[in-house]
Structures are given as C-alpha cells and as structure tokens.
Amino acid sequence: MTQVVLAGLSMIRYQLGRQICGDLNAASQREWLVTDGVGGYAMGTVAGLRTRRYHGLLIVAGDPLGRRHLGLAALDARVVIGDRRVSLATHEWSGGVIDPTGPSLLLATGGEVDLAGPNSELTLNGGDAAFVAPDEGPIKVSGPGRLWWATTGDALPA
C-alpha cells in the first residue's frame, strides 16, 4: 500500500497480485468502495461480481439522504482483436452460474467440487482437472472443495 496525491486529493494505492485476482472466490470476497462526499458511492468486488444488492458503479444519494438509487450497475467492457471478443466482465447469476465464460481449464485444488452444465455434470476431487469448451454454456459450481478456474472469457456472442 502506498499513498498517492493526485490533483490535490490524497489516495491510498492498494495492489493485489495474481494470487487474489486469479482466484474468483478470493477476488469476490474482497471489496472496494469509493465515496463522493455527498452520500453517493461506487462499490464492488475485486472480481467485478456484484455479490451484494448495494454494489454498483454509481449509487446516488436521494432525499432523504439515507435513500439511495442505483444509477449504473456495471459496464461490460469487451476487447475486440480481429474476430475475437474478450469479455472483461464477470457476472454471477442466481444459482451460482458464472457467465460469461470462454474455454476454461478447471482444477480442483482440494476437496470435492461439483460442476453442472446444460448438458453434463462432473465431480472433481483434489488434483482432478477438466476442460470446458465455450459452447458448453454456463457452468454451475457447488461443493465444499476449492477450484482454480482459468478462462479467456471470449465466449460472448458477436
């Protein structure tokens, strides 16, 4: 952590490495908050998942001050390289479905993890791995185990 002064404002710069940002579970448990000084704020998780109902990029103060309104929930940015589209956004839908996903490599690093897609189900135990093709759709993850998930996130429709 370092203190940075930008345009006369004092800010704390906090950096997280791959051990946090590369682990969806760890990154979704770490939150950030930026306030505007008049009752509004932006708040979310390092992973970009909105895990609480009051997460959003623009929460505006209302009248009375304790009443707030969601002005902007998220921005789903994509990088386009030739014919490829790579999503920079991640969403967790009800039931634990993570989307968008691209081709993924899943590795159970401990315990037992259950995977369920639209067409198949699979249980991974510590040390087991699986490949998920982009056309296999969203994958629901459950179980007490730990999972390492690597994906390109490029399975968005054109």
DSSP label of 64:
S
Q: Is the pTM of this model over 0.85?
A: no
Tell me the CATH number for domain 78-151: 2.60.120.10
Question: Could you tell me where the DSSP H helices lie in the chain?
Answer: 18-21, 24-28
- Locate 5 and state its tokens: 């002064």
Planar angle of CA 21, 132, 115, nearest 5 degrees: 80
- Kindly indicate the confidence band of residue 156, based on its pLDDT and cuts at 50, 70 and 90: very low
Q: Would you kindly state where each structural domain of the chain is located, as residue ranges?
A: 2-72, 78-151
**Which position has the token pair 């791995």?**
129
**Which position has the token pair 């203190």?**
3
* pLDDT tens track for 19-42: 777 777 888 888 988 888 888 999
| CA 12/CA 3 separation, integer angstroms | 5
Residues 95, 101, 107, 109: is their CA dihedral positive or negative? negative
